[in-house]
Amino acid sequence: MSKKFCVDFHILPVGSAFSDPAMQLLKPSWINHDDGKAIFSVDIHPDGTRFATGGQGQGQDASGRVVIWNMKPVLSEKYEKDPNCPKLLCQLDQHLGCVNCVRWSHSGHFLASAGDDKVIIIWQLSNYGGGSVFGSNVINIEWWRCVSTLRGHDGDILDVAWAPRDAFLASVSVDNTIIIWNCEKWPERVRVLRGHRGLVKGVTWDPVGRYLASQADDKTLVVWRTSDWTQETVISKPFEECGGTTSVLRLSWSPDGQYLVSAHAMNNGGPTAQIIDRDHWTTDKDFVGHRKPVTCVRFNPNILKKSDSAGGKPVQYCCLAVGARDRSLSIWFTSLKRPLLVIHDVFEDSVN
């Protein structure tokens, strides 16, 4: 896994406190982990006021770090220059291994972080104020406390996902398994899913909660029924031509539930993000254009609408971002055949 610099991504929810109808590309230099340490994941809070990053910590001991940031100075130059507007809200250094994934619950009350130390930490904002970080000159504005530590995997945890209404949390690992956790009875495990024959590197829930999808290095994508945790289907054809591996395989389900989009697929020798239709699990469409394997896709959690030019019913569509090892991002609408935007050489290394 490349440790130079990578980042996961999430689209700011439309209608949130700081959303703007115009698309902007922002890359503030002050968002970083000490000494240019790698960032492997980012997730925006549901209300758009803050976001979390996860990656490497300080020193040579391979520790992990979670940082919660203020969104105001990202979106406003006025707040960015305001010395009274804090940028860093909280730094959490409790992980003993690199943090590979951070994900907010849908309610925004909890943050899950997971990493190479084989544990998931569930964080919750405390009513108490912040304070200094042990061994650091960082001052926390907020205090996020650990409310549960989930142990069960035998290897690095690469991805986690909250179920609709936050009933469950799913985690995937290089131990080839998926664990379903009961969010109402931490740290209870509901089920351990064993079906992949390779490292499991991505997981996502459908917005209704009927299915869970996972993708692994064994060149398969498995859709699981949440009613009995058995396999609904195993999809392999789009991945048969794939050579090599990627650090993650982060797939995503559209907010309308119609499409599941995977990472690291191939079509006629070219890398693609595979579109899987929910109705019959067909794989006859894909997003093409990246020069190297696709590592991650992420849908905006909102269903978007645009007015019909003829004055009819508004047309609904979904928006997603695709990242790849070619260090580029592409933005797509499900209503269009071509990308809305392609940005090359955004980062120094693969997008995660």
Contact predicate 291/342, CB 8 Å: no
- Can you give the length of the chain in residues? 352
- Say what percent of the chain tops pLDDT 70: 88
- pLDDT tens track for 121-140: 999 999 876 665 555 667 88
The residue with greater pLDDT, 289 or 116, is 116
Mean pLDDT of the chain: 89
Residue 347: pLDDT band by 50, 70, 90 thresholds?
confident
d(C-alpha 208, C-alpha 230), whole Å: 17
Domain ranges of the chain: 1-151
pLDDT digits (tens, 9 = 90+) for 51-86: 999 999 876 667 899 999 999 999 999 999 999 999
Residue found under tokens 């989930």: 150
* 22 confidence band (pLDDT: 50, 70, 90): low
pTM over 0.85: yes
Q: Token digits for 197?
A: 């024959």
Residue 14 has pLDDT above 70, yes or no: no
Distance CA 133, CA 294 (A): 37
87-114 pLDDT tens trace: 999 999 999 999 999 999 999 999 999 9
| DSSP three-state, residue 230 | coil
- Give the mean pLDDT of 236-264: 95
CB atoms within 10 A of CB 284: 9
Across residues 206-218, what is the average pLDDT? 97
pLDDT bucket at 154, cuts 50 / 70 / 90: very high
pLDDT of 310 over the 80 cut: no
Residue 313 has pLDDT above 70, yes or no: yes
**pLDDT tens per residue across span 276-308:** 999 999 999 999 989 999 999 999 999 998 877
Query: What pLDDT does 81 receive?
Result: 93
CA distances from 199 to 32, 121, 242 (A): 28, 21, 15
Residue 302: which of 286, 312, 313, 316 has the closest Cα? 316
Structure tokens at 345: 């050489």
What confidence score (pLDDT) does residue 88 get? 96
> At residue 345, does pLDDT exceed 60?
yes
3-state secondary structure of 195: coil
Q: CB neighbours (10 Å) of residue 306? A: 11
